[in-house]
Every structure is written in C-alpha cells, then in structure tokens.
C-alpha cells in the first residue's frame, strides 16, 4: 500500500527525534484491547428482569434509540464495531450475559454451556475472551454487601458464584488457546459512615481466599484480577474494597491489580501510580474510562489521563506486564459510535506512547538539562501523530480519521432504528 504524503512528512518529522513510526505502528496494532460487552445494552444483562432488584452502584443514563435487547443483537453490534477498529481486540464478558434459554439459572450455578454462543462467536471472529463475575444487580446484592456481607448465606452464594466464574473463564481459555483475564469487582460499601470498618474488610478477605482456594483452576489460564474503587452509588462514604485493600490483597496473593481511571480522586494521577505499583506487582489490568466529576464512566476520549497512562507504560517498556480493557457506558448517544470513539482513543493513546521521543527526553534529563527536557516534552505533543494514526488505520483495513461515521449512520438507519 502506498503511504500518504502526510504520513511521509510525519515519518520524517518523528525520525528527526529518533522515533521509528513504522515500529510504533506495528507495536500499536499488536496490543490487545478488551472491548466491554455492557456498552451495547446499557449494563442490563440477559437475565430475566426481577422486581425489586437494585443496580448495585451501576447506572447507565440516557435513552438513545437502538439498545441491544438480546445476545444476538449485542453480537451483531459488536461485529460492526470490530470492523471499524484497528488492531487486536478481545471481548470482555460479564456473567449476567449468560444465555440459559427458557431455564432460569441463578448465578451460583452458572456453567460454561450457558456461554456457548458467546464462545462460538469469539471462535468464529478469532478473538480472545475475558470474563467477570457479576456481583451486582441481584436481590442478594440489594443490601449493598456481597462478599463482605454479615449474612453467611449471602456470602456463600457469592463465593460460589466467584468459583463458578473461574471455571467458566478457564473453559474459555482452554477452548480459545489464550489466557482469560478474570476481574473481580464488588459494589460493597455504605452510603453513610459505618460504625465498623474492620469486619466487612475481614469478611471480604476471607471470601476471596475461599474463592481462590480452588486449586482445580489453572491460574495461568484464568488470570484473576481484583479492582478497587474510591466510592460509588450507595457507597459514598465507605467502600470495603478500597485501593489500599486490593493493592495489598493482590500483592500478597499473587493476583493482578486492576486500575480503573474513574476510581480515584479527580486530582489523582493514575499514570503516576504505575511505576510505583510495578515495583511490587508483576502485572496490572488497566481500565480506560472517563470520570466527569465522579466515577460516571463516560466514553473514553484522548484526554490527558488516558494519554499519560500509556505514555508511562511506554516509558517503562511495560507492555508485556499490562492488560488493557475498556469500561464505560453511555446510553445518551449512539452506542456503536461510543464503542468506536472509546476504543480508538485508547489505541491512539497507545500509539502516542510508542511515538514519544523518550530516549531524547531522558538523555536531556540525565545530562541535567531540565529546560531541554521540558521543551522536548512539549514539542512531542505537537508532533503529527494524527497522520501516523491514519496510516495505521489504512494498513489495517479500517476507515481512517472519522470516516467510520458513515458506517455507523447506515447501521443506525437499517438496524438500530428498527429496534423497539
């Protein structure tokens, strides 16, 4: 394929700073990004709706037409998304997207066969799967406590759910020949100041220990991760599974720690945490999201938080120590477009990290030329990465720039508009 004039100029510009754009394109295309299935249906799941079930800290707002109403519609939507995204993709699946037919199956009794259609779809598209237990949107989560509940019966139910999900993840890995990242997040917490912050955290630790005690699950196939949070709906004052809890738990149990961009104070830098945590943690799971005033899971854009996160990964050459996944949901705009915008922004941030003239910048810093370091860091942001991105898209056979909007418009007219 013949490169554009814009790319040739960009390649020359980057070469002047010691950056090989060809190598950056190849590397950026290889990094897997795990698409989250729950954007397609507004985090509703495929279970039969039950009266009196709370959301468990999860809420997608807006009423844009065209929400996927079943697994087939979700997979059709994802097929279009995959056609519009460059690079290597995976699909991140939550447990309450089980397809059990006419039979009601509770979450502690889920089996691999309940995800057979998802597995078949992934095989046919030649993509990997990741998996998540669903510890929310269930009557046994209405109290706001699951694995840390004071009720032994409630805890037992969710422990069994976690165990069942690990076996499902292992089954996916065996069938697809690729490890599955299996991420645990619970909504446990209190709306107002609790009198006892100790006991729920002790129970949460014991519940996770019971889940991970199952030695029939190969941890090289089922790669368990745990995810903390600052606060959420219904847990504004106290979150049992805080950052400190999960960082310590993951390190002590040799698990993967998940960092979600929306789960921290607005002024915290998640990028800055990476080099600190990776002195002690072998691997991290990175969730790209976008908080607006709080953990509101807005569609990812190429903002400073996302860009700086992957710049830090690039500067530490830690690509083989991170897993990358999306986590946002917006029902106020076209959901296909939301997928494409968020996934492309994430891979654009990966590319920008790989295009950074790190060697030149660090050489200036090592030599004590702070003014030069700062000037080069600023200049790096102005280099023509957009032309490199368009070249990356063209080479991978997907629409460059915003040309994908035409495909989304056609799909909305012919498919989404016909959904009730």
- Express each pLDDT in 200-256 by its tens digit: 999 999 999 999 999 999 999 999 999 999 998 889 999 999 999 999 999 999 999
Provide the token pair at 187: 């909504």
- Express each pLDDT in 264-312 by its tens digit: 998 999 999 999 999 999 999 999 999 999 888 999 999 999 999 999 9
Q: Could you tell me which of 222, 219, 54, 247 has the C-alpha nearest to residue 146? A: 54
| Reported pTM | 0.97
What's the burial of 213, exposed, middle or buried (CB within 10 Å: 0-12/13-18/19+)? exposed
Q: Which domains does the chain have, with CATH numbers?
A: 32-68+87-332 (3.20.20.150)
Query: What are the angstrom distances between the C-alpha of 111 and each of 52, 160, 321?
Result: 26, 12, 30
Q: What is the mean pLDDT of the chain?
A: 96
3-state secondary structure the chain: CCCCHHHHHHHHHHHCCCCCHHHHHHHHHHCCEEEEHHHCCCCCCCCCCCCCCCCCCCCCCCCCCCCCCCHHHHHHHHHHHHHCCCCCEEEEEEHHHCCCCCCCCCHHHCCHHHHHHHHHHHHHHCCEEEEECCCCCCHHHCCCCCCCCCCHHHHHHHHHHHHHHHHHHHHHHHHHCCCEEEEECCCCEECCCCCCCHHHHHHHHHHHHHHHCCCCCCCCCEEEEEECCCCECCECCEECCCHHHHHHHHHHHCCEEEEECCCCCCCCCHHHHHHHHCCCCCCEEEEECECCCCCCCECCCCCHHHHHHHHHHHHCCCHHHEEEEECCCCCCCCHHHHHHHHHHHHHHHHHHHHCCCHHHHHHHHHCCCHHHHHHHHHHHHHCCHHHHHHHHHHHCCCCCCCCCHHHHHHHHHHCHHHCC
What was the pLDDT predicted at 55? 67
Provide the token pair at 188: 């446990």
Work out the average pLDDT over 76-87. Answer: 98
Percent of the chain scored above 90 by pLDDT?
93
CA 379, 380, 384 angle in degrees (round to 5)? Answer: 100
> Can you give the C-alpha Rg of the chain in angstroms?
22
* Catalytically annotated residues: 185, 227, 229, 260, 263, 287, 295, 297, 327
Q: How far apart are CA 141 and CA 148, in angstroms?
A: 11
- Express each pLDDT in 350-402 by its tens digit: 999 999 999 999 999 999 999 999 999 999 999 999 999 999 999 999 999 99
Percent of the chain scored above 70 by pLDDT?
99
- Express each pLDDT in 129-160 by its tens digit: 999 999 999 999 999 999 999 999 999 999 99
């Amino acid at each position: 394929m013949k490169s554009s004039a814009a790319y040739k100029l960009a390649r020359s510009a980057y070469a002047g700073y010691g950056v090989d754009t060809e190598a950056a394109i190849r590397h950026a295309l290889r990094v897997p990004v795990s698409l989250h299935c729950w954007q397609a249906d507004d985090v509703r799941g495929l279970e039969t709706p039950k009266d009196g079930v709370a959301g468990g800290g999860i809420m997608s707002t807006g009423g844009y037409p065209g929400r996927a109403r079943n697994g087939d519609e979700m997979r059709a939507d994802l097929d279009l998304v995959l056609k519009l995204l460059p690079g290597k993709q995976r699909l991140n699946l939550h447990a309450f997207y089980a397809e059990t037919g006419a039979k009601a199956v509770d979450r502690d009794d889920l089996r691999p066969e309940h995800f057979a259609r998802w597995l078949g779809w992934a095989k046919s598209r030649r993509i990997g799967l990741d998996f998540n237990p669903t510890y929310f949107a269930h009557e046994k989560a209405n109290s706001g406590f699951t694995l840390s509940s004071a009720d032994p019966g409630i805890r037992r139910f969710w422990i069994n759910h976690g165990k069942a999900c690990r076996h499902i993840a292992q089954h996916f890995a065996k069938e697809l020949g690729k490890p599955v990242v299996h991420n645990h997040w619970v909504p446990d917490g209190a709306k107002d100041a609790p009198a006892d912050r100790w006991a729920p955290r002790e129970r949460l630790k014991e519940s996770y220990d019971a889940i991970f005690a199952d030695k029939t699950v190969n941890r090289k196939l089922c790669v368990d991760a745990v995810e903390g949070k600052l606060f959420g709906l219904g847990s504004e004052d106290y979150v049992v599974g805080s950052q400190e809890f999960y960082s310590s738990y993951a390190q002590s149990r040799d698990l993967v720690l998940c960092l979600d961009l929306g789960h921290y104070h607005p002024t915290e830098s998640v990028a800055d945490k990476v080099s600190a945590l990776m002195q002690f943690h072998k691997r991290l799971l990175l969730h790209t999201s976008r908080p607006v005033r709080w953990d509101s899971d807005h569609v990812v854009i190429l903002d400073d938080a996302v860009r700086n996160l992957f710049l830090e990964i690039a500067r530490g050459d830690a690509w083989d120590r991170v897993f990358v996944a999306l986590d946002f949901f917006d029902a106020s705009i076209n959901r296909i477009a939301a997928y494409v915008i968020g996934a492309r922004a994430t891979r654009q941030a990966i590319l920008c990290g790989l295009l950074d003239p790190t060697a030149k910048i660090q050489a200036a810093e090592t030599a004590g030329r702070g003014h030069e370091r700062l000037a080069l860091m600023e200049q790096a942001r102005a280099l023509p990465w957009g032309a490199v991105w368009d070249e990356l898209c063209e080479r991978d056979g997907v629409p460059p720039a915003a040309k994908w909007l035409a495909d989304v418009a056609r799909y909305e007219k012919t498919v989404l508009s016909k959904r009730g």
